Amino acid sequence: MIRLGVNIDHVATLRQARRTAYPSVLEAAALCEQAGAHGITVHLREDRRHIQDADLYALRESLATRMNLEMANNPDIVAVALDVKPDEVCMVPERREELTTEGGLDVAGQRDSLAPVVADLRRAGVTVSMFIDPEPRQVEASAAIGAPCVELHTGAYAERSGAGREAELERLMIAARLAREAGLQVNAGHGLNLENLGPVLRLPGLDTLNIGHSIVCRAIFTGLERAVAEMLERISK
């Protein structure tokens, strides 16, 4: 069974647009869990553009499933992670000027700085994943620094079509096979939606898909009728 982790960052993005208390990320997480999600993913960015520190602590107390924290290798964020102790951490690259995470983490080029962080998190009982582009050297580096899991970045696959997409799918297939041969858990995510997901489900040993943006976007429409009805009901009272 392939598990689904739902990223609720963009529920927080909507909240932070007005600095209000709503929409509630706790309510969003609970609804995802009620619908059958196997876990909840959040990204605590250095600039705190969506998820806030307080969200992590509140979610840690309220979640019935697994909590997956995406984070950069930043001392302040690492300290928060070690305090919150999510079930899982996914190490990602981060640039303040980017709209969202662009590309995978260069584990091969950052082994010396990443290895001690991986060790500290694992000692705290946290499963650690590396968010990487589907490149053999990144898979090998992830295993070498002691990460038990990789999350393959599917962004390039999602952005392309035709022969370009097929080529990216093959890169993902090769990386997944290498990861499994190295004894690593294989997760995947970024840019996936109902239309492009199918072929990714064939990745060897795929354990978990982490999907957020497309789910939140679709929820605007599939959940909109009920939201309007509730507002009309409230107005009529």
Of 38, 70, 135, 151, the catalytic one is 70
Contact between 44 and 53 under an 8 Å Cβ cutoff? The reply is: yes
Contacting residues for 233 by C-beta, under 8 A, at least 6 apart = none
β-strand partners of 210: 5, 189
The single-letter code of the amino acid at 186 is: V
- Active-site annotation holds for 70: yes
Q: What angle do CA 212, 86, 84 make, to 5 degrees?
A: 120
CA dihedral 66, 69, 135, 95 (to 10 degrees): 160
Contact between 138 and 106 under an 8 Å Cβ cutoff? The reply is: yes
pTM: 0.91
CATH code for the structural domain at 3-236: 3.20.20.70
Across the chain, what does the average pLDDT equal?
93
- pLDDT at position 222: 80
- Active-site annotation holds for 159: no
The single-letter code of the amino acid at 164 is: G
What is the C-alpha to C-alpha distance for residues 118 and 147, in angstroms, rounded to an integer? 6
Q: Does residue 235 have a pLDDT over 90? A: no
What is the residue extent of each domain of the chain? 3-236
Please choose, from the candidates 75, 70, 63, 78, the residue with its C-alpha nearest in 3D space to the C-alpha of residue 29.
63
Q: Does residue 101 have a pLDDT over 70? A: no
- Active-site annotation holds for 10: no
Q: How far is CA 162 from the centre of its chain?
A: 26
Of 38, 43, 50, 153, the catalytic one is 43
- pLDDT at position 233: 82
Q: What's the pLDDT tens digit per position in 79-96? A: 999 999 999 999 999 865
Of 38, 50, 153, 190, the catalytic one is 190
